[in-house]
Amino acid sequence: MSIFRITRIILFVLAGVYLLTACVNKETSAEKMYQVLEKVVQAEKEFEEQQQPLVALEKQEKEKYNQIMAIGLKQHDEIIKLSDEALSIIEKRRVHLQKEKDSINASKTEFRKAEEIKSKIKDTEQKKKAEDLFEIMENRYIVHNQLSTDYSNALDSDKELYLMLKDENISYERLEMQVTKLNTAYQQVSDANDEFNKLTAQYNEKKLEFYIEAGLKLEDDNGK
């Protein structure tokens, strides 16, 4: 009974490679937009920080499952021990998932501050780039919400499996059904993960396009 597992490879919103130079005149709408968009990057730092621990915990849990499958269902005391350890790992994954969700919600709050700024952009091309950027990011938030839901559902299915494994009288057929259910849940996670990454890559690209179209006076960290 093999379980499909994804290795979480999440793309992040990228910080500007450049630093906006100080302007003597009044800050333009594009410059104000820049400031907000770079704050969005900071808001997602905690989201970024959850990825490595989540991957590590997923690997640990997979090892517990493999150990259970290796010893067989007759060594019940050892199965209970390993299942309890796996259940503990699942709860740790939930904690990181919640931190991830909180970070994305903070990002959303920050990002929507740019709505009023966008409405004041006069240049047609700049406005089009900004609107494209907003559409992509809003879709990204929607997909992350689905990704979080799917991942939470997968954790629930994981938990059900280990509780079933602790039941000495559980049938092999019921375990197979649960594993099938779990594989379906993780396939949904994988699909949502791919879509989220695609939108993140598009957002990073469109953000840079907006900066270029707006003609922002940018310089790199070395002042060039």
- Span 128-166, pLDDT tens digits: 999 999 999 999 999 999 999 999 999 999 999 999 999
Neighbouring-strand partners of residue 224: none
Instruction: Output the domain CATH number for residue 135.
Output: 1.20.120.570
Residue numbers of the domain that contains 75 = 26-216
| Coil, strand or helix at 4 | coil
Cβ-based burial of 215 (10 A; exposed 0-12, middle 13-18, buried ≥19): exposed
Number of domains in the chain: 1
**Could you read off the pLDDT of 83-101 as tens digits, one per residue?**
999 999 999 999 999 999 9
- Residue 14 covered by a domain: no
Answer for the pair 132, 206: CB distance below 8 angstroms, yes or no: yes
Q: Who contacts 114 (Cβ-Cβ below 8 Å, separation ≥6)?
A: 32, 33, 36, 37, 134
> Are the beta carbons of 191 and 137 closer than 8 angstroms?
no
Classify residue 83 by its DSSP letter. Answer: H
Rg over alpha carbons for the chain, rounded to the nearest Å, is: 23
10 within some domain: no
Q: In the chain, what percentage of residues exceed pLDDT 90?
A: 72
